[in-house]
Every structure is written in structure tokens, then in C-alpha cells.
């Protein structure tokens, strides 16, 4: 008997007298019931509670808003698929580090030396204040949203759902999903909040309507 067969035989023996697995109830909420304006208000409230900066602007104001948030950054990284119109104001191209595509990928050291990152987003859950990235070209690989100290994330109002089941239906579960609920934070044994341990200490969210 091979090792594989031995293991499977042991599993079958252990399960022989096990009770049948009960059917899992699926009666949870699958769809939200609030108007989009109310959903955005809930999202803003949750994000601010998490100590994220939030700005709600018209689509045309996204570039100027990004510019203002990057005012103090010496350098910043953008994924290869970020909308170039969002950075149309930038004249000092030495400030911009591109990651992916023909530019190649930046090293961890290079990312750590970068002040900020600008990304898009896949879908956002208002009820939990959770932004989900799925590695699409406008979001880039996970590392660029976790290493720089300041993350500026653009969320389109059309991509905001009220509850999680709505959001999950829009996602491809085989893609690398990163879920963000506010800036990186944890608490020590004294329950003292510490920010920036596992990711950016500052999160600014631009909601484009």
C-alpha cells in the first residue's frame, strides 16, 4: 500500500461512523435594500470610523484630488493600468514609479523607499467599509498596496455594494484578492492601537460619483 492509499484508508475509517453533514442554510441576505446615495453615506461613515481619509467628488475632479493628496510625496508608485488621465497634471515624471507592464516590477526595497501609491479598486462593501482589490491592471500586484506608507485608492460609486454577498458575485475568486478596511492597524496586549505594522499607515479614499 502506498502512502497515499494508507492516508486515504485512515480517513475513510475515521469517517465511517461520522454523522451526515447537515445542509448549510442559505437564508442570509443576498442583496442590499438601500438607495445608492444612502449606501455611499454608510461607506463614508465606516471609512472615517476606521480613520481613513474620504473625499467624495465628481469623476472629473479625481485628477485634482489625487494631486492634492500627493502634494507632500517625494515619489509615488502607480500600477501599469492606472488611468493616465488621473495623472495628467504631473510634470515631474521622476516622481512617478511605474510597476508592471513594460516598466517591469519594482523591488521591495524600491517600494519601501516610495512615499505613496495610487490604485483603482475592484468592488467596495459599504456595510463593512471594505475595499477589495483583485490585481486588475489599475490596481496592480498586492505588494504595491501594502508596502508604501500612504495608499490613495479611487473607488467608483458604481462599484460600491451595500453588503458582502453582492460584492462577491462581482469577483472572480481565482484572482488574488486584497481586502482593505482602513489603514493598517493592530492592538498590543495593553489594547494600545498601533498603525502601520502590516501596511500603509495612511489610507485616503476618493469616491468618484
User: Could you write out the DSSP letters of every residue in 129-170?
Assistant: TEEEE---TTT--HHHHHSSSEEEEEEEGGGEESSHHHHHHH
Residues 6 or more apart from 143 whose CB is under 8 A from it?
108, 111
Residue pLDDT, tens place only, 20-30: 778 888 888 88
The rounded distance, in Å, linking the Cα atoms of 55 and 149 is 19
Residue pLDDT, tens place only, 59-95: 999 999 999 999 989 999 999 999 999 999 988 888 9
Residue pLDDT, tens place only, 85-139: 999 998 888 898 998 878 888 899 989 899 999 999 999 999 999 999 999 999 9
- Indicate the pTM of the whole model: 0.82
Q: What is the mean pLDDT of the chain?
A: 89
Amino acid at each position: 500500500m502506498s502512502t497515499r492509499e494508507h492516508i486515504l484508508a485512515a480517513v475513510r475509517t475515521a469517517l465511517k461512523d461520522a454523522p451526515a453533514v447537515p445542509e448549510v442554510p442559505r437564508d442570509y441576505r443576498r442583496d442590499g435594500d438601500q438607495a445608492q446615495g444612502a449606501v455611499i453615506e454608510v461607506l463614508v461613515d465606516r471609512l472615517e470610523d476606521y480613520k481613513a481619509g474620504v473625499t467624495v467628488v465628481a469623476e472629473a475632479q479625481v485628477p485634482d484630488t489625487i494631486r492634492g493628496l500627493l502634494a507632500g510625496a517625494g515619489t509615488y508608485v502607480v500600477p501599469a493600468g492606472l488611468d493616465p488621465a488621473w495623472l495628467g497634471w504631473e510634470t515631474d515624471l521622476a516622481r512617478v514609479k511605474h510597476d508592471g507592464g513594460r516598466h517591469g516590477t519594482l523591488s521591495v526595497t524600491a517600494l519601501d523607499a516610495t512615499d505613496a501609491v495610487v490604485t483603482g479598486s475592484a468592488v467596495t462593501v459599504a456595510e463593512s467599509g471594505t475595499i477589495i482589490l483583485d490585481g486588475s491592471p489599475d490596481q496592480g500586484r498586492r505588494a504595491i498596496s501594502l508596502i508604501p506608507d500612504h495608499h490613495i485608492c479611487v473607488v467608483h460609486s458604481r462599484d460600491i455594494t451595500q453588503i458582502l454577498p453582492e460584492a462577491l458575485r462581482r469577483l472572480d475568486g481565482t484572482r488574488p484578492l486584497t481586502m482593505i478596511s482602513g489603514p493598517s492597524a493592530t492592538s498590543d496586549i495593553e489594547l494600545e492601537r498601533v498603525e502601520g505594522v502590516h501596511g500603509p499607515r495612511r489610507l485616503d479614499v476618493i469616491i468618484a460619483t
